Chains A and B, each alone.
Chain A
Amino acid sequence: MQTKVIQNPSDPAASAPSVQDTVIHTVGLTKTFGHVNALQGIDLTVPRNSIVGFLGPNGSGKTTAIKLLLGLSRPTAGKATLFGMDSIQDSLAIRSRVGYLAQDPRFYTHMTARETLEFTARFFYRGPAEAIRARIDETLELVGLADKADRPTKGFSGGERQRLGIAQAQVNYPDLLILDEPAAALDPVGRRDVLDVMERLRAYTTIFYSTHILDDVERVSDYVAILDHGRMVASSLTAALLDGDSTTYELTIRGDQQAVLRALRAHPWVSNITTAPQNGSTAMTISVTDEQAAESGLLRSVIAIDDLVVTAFGRRHFNLEDVFLQLVKDPRE
């Protein structure tokens, strides 16, 4: 299955990284439920020590993909490897190196937060008991649950469960953290805290997380992968994705607009110009067909005009919302 992938040629992720540098690698990963194609041949590479935002509208297949990576579900076709190991055959070995937070984390309600973390830690560590206790205390402190450590999780709010979920996901110092909507149930302060934790963990682990919150992705993610209707529609360095396609420039001027238009239209590689007034200035969007010629000649031809002030110039920069809406089909259309 062909997927439309936006990739910057200079993107290091675009060239195949070595196995040692790759934490997640999927080839044609497909999942079908009856007649529903939940995932349609996704190819994904997640480099070591990166933070990768996994974006997509509801029902696009993000959680399905995560469950396939964890061996919680079996692919209909294709293959996923984590740390170079097969997601099905080597699932146990993979899970010993992974921390996972589910979209709506649920725990045994008769256990307290501390008992939940101890139960989790015992899958990874035999002891000594004091060291496990110390690790749990550290983790509870990290997520701000130290004062609720001995309360049964039965009474926990959604936000508290989410914090406990983050705590249990990283109690084992995982090499890979897979977080399914980690900030969804949190208030703005909790959301900021989660992003801070992710930033701090960046040096020690790889983080692959799904989210709807585009601002968060722009803030912390090195890479973005966008899924729509089970297809990967973009996979790139975040910065490269937001830089756009380098064939569109934005220019803001004060002065003779007609002179600027004449100068620009004189270039055979300028294909389209749109103008819009902007607080007493004129904002222009210029499309070009020759990137190199535009790079060296566009601004030069404009600043040569007398009595003209250029207040802004550069490649058109997108925000993630623009890119997301451009790539993802509106189901109502």
Chain B
Amino acid sequence: MTSTTTNATVESPLVPVHTTGWQGGLANLVRKELGQWWGTRMWWIQTLIWVVLLNGVATVVMLEGAGRPPQEVVAETVQTFLLMGAMVIGIGVVLTIQGAVVGEKELGTAAWVMSKPASRASFVLAKLIGYSVGFFATALLIPSIVFVVQAQFLLSVPLDYGRFALAVGIVALSVLFYVALTIGLGCMFKGRGPVAGIGIGLVLVGQFFKGMLPLPLVMATPWLLGDVATSFALASPPDFNRMVPIIVTTAAALALVYLAIWRFQREEF
């Protein structure tokens, strides 16, 4: 160490931040979370995974449809892309984010950040914003753009871009739900096991058992969002009210965020 003088009384051009309330430190924490996505290899690794997975399967479906009615191939391709997106991205979200809060609690970085003028709500919200934006962009937006380009070349019937964008937005709601769920579980549990187990379990139970459960029950879950998205994209209304899963999932995501903040505010470091 050198003998540089540290003088708090020196005239400083630094402009202090005056933070109070729940948003204290939020901007800085969001910048850090986004930096973790876009300032490291994470963004292109995630993009590569999702493009290979979602667009790879979509390409196979498009190519296998040769000789069948074009409208049918379009419907099957869109349905595969959206249903897979809603399910597989959910699993990807849980696997990727399972340590986002738990890991920081274990490592001590959460305690370090909470020793700075940052609110606990900001810590949780920054994670929510960072991971939602990251997954939306790399797992949904970029593969969707690639899908549109693929469809241009491989399908003889053009896509309705407006409806497809609306459908992607509904899958984004599913992503948001799983991000909120995983972060919420991370705030509630001390280990990664329950976070990953409950998160992935919820995705898989939905996908494999939703047909066996009563429809009113399934409608009150995010499990039907893939079907809802497909119905919007293909303009084929399903035999249930499409707004119910949308409203319930939005409400559930908000409730999970509230619970996560409530629990994290009681966390003892």
Q: Footprint of B on A, CB under 8 Å?
A: 67, 70-74, 92-93, 95-96, 98, 100, 102, 104-108, 110, 119-120, 122-128, 131-132, 135, 138-139, 141-144, 163, 170, 173, 190, 193-194, 196-197, 200-201, 204-205
> With the chains together, A289 CA to B236 CA distance in Å?
100
Q: Is the CB of A73 within 8 A of B268?
A: yes
Residue B17 at the chain A interface, CB threshold 8 Å: yes
> With the chains together, A306 CA to B24 CA distance in Å?
77
Residue B117 at the chain A interface, CB threshold 8 Å: yes
> With the chains together, A159 CA to B12 CA distance in Å?
30
Give every chain A residue within 8 A of B213 (Cβ-Cβ): none
Q: Is the CB of A124 within 8 A of B117?
A: yes
Q: Is the CB of A125 within 8 A of B40?
A: no
Q: Give min CB distance, A132 to chain B, whole Å.
A: 7
Q: Is the CB of A163 within 8 A of B16?
A: no
Q: Is the CB of B8 within 8 A of A119?
A: no
Q: Is the CB of B14 within 8 A of A95?
A: no
Q: Is the CB of B17 within 8 A of A72?
A: no
Give every chain A residue within 8 A of B152 (Cβ-Cβ): none
> With the chains together, A119 CA to B17 CA distance in Å?
13
8 additional A-B pairs beyond A73-B269, A100-B115, A102-B115, beta carbons within 8 Å, are: A95-B118, A122-B31, A131-B14, A135-B12, A139-B6, A143-B1, A196-B1, A204-B7
Segment 7-50 of B: residues with Cβ below 8 Å from A: 7-9, 12-17, 19-21, 24-25, 28, 31-32, 36, 39-40
Out of A100, A127, A190, which one reaches B15, CB within 8 Å?
A127
B14 to A, closest residue via Cβ? A125
> With the chains together, A193 CA to B40 CA distance in Å?
34
Q: Give min CB distance, A69 to chain B, whole Å.
A: 10
Q: Is the CB of B109 within 8 A of A107?
A: yes
Residue B55 at the chain A interface, CB threshold 8 Å: no
The 6 closest A-B pairs by CB, nearest first: A173-B8, A193-B1, A96-B117, A204-B8, A72-B269, A144-B1
B19 to A, closest residue via Cβ? A92
Given A123-B116, A135-B14, A141 contacting B4 (CB threshold 8 A): yes
Give every chain A residue within 8 A of B114 (Cβ-Cβ): 70-72
Given A110-B40, A119-B32, A142 contacting B6 (CB threshold 8 A): yes
Q: Is the CB of B14 within 8 A of A67?
A: no
Residue B2 at the chain A interface, CB threshold 8 Å: yes
Q: Give min CB distance, B78 to chain A, whole Å.
A: 37
Out of A102, A106, A124, A197, which one reaches B1, CB within 8 Å?
A197
Pick the most buried of B6, B36, B269: most chain A CB atoms within 10 A of its CB.
B6
Q: Is the CB of A131 within 8 A of B12?
A: yes
Residue B108 at the chain A interface, CB threshold 8 Å: yes
Q: Is the CB of B1 within 8 A of A123?
A: no
Out of B19, B20, B40, B268, which one reaches A74, CB within 8 Å?
B268
A119 to B, closest residue via Cβ? B32
Q: Give min CB distance, A120 to chain B, whole Å.
A: 7
Give every chain A residue within 8 A of B25 (Cβ-Cβ): 123
> With the chains together, A194 CA to B1 CA distance in Å?
8
> With the chains together, A95 CA to B116 CA distance in Å?
5
Q: Give min CB distance, B122 to chain A, whole Å.
A: 10
Residue B112 at the chain A interface, CB threshold 8 Å: yes
Q: Is the CB of A163 within 8 A of B1?
A: yes
Out of B28, B39, B117, which one reaches A92, CB within 8 Å?
B117
Q: Per-residue 0/1 for B116-159: is the Cβ within 8 Å of any A Cβ (1 yes, 0 no)?
A: 11110000000000000000000000000000000000000000
Give every chain B residue within 8 A of A67 (Cβ-Cβ): 111, 269
A99 to B, closest residue via Cβ? B115
Q: Is the CB of B112 within 8 A of A106?
A: yes
Give every chain A residue within 8 A of B24 (Cβ-Cβ): 92
> With the chains together, A194 CA to B108 CA distance in Å?
22
Q: Give min CB distance, B7 to chain A, whole Å.
A: 6
> With the chains together, A197 CA to B31 CA distance in Å?
31
Give every chain A residue within 8 A of B112 (Cβ-Cβ): 100, 102, 105-107
Given A73-B269, A197-B1, A102 contacting B13 (CB threshold 8 A): no
Q: Is the CB of A144 within 8 A of B2?
A: yes
A190 to B, closest residue via Cβ? B1
Give every chain A residue within 8 A of B241 (Cβ-Cβ): none
23 A-B contact pairs sorted by A residue (CB < 8 Å): A67-B269, A70-B115, A72-B111, A72-B115, A73-B269, A95-B118, A100-B112, A102-B108, A106-B109, A108-B109, A119-B28, A122-B17, A123-B117, A125-B14, A125-B15, A127-B14, A138-B4, A141-B4, A142-B4, A144-B2, A194-B1, A200-B6, A205-B8
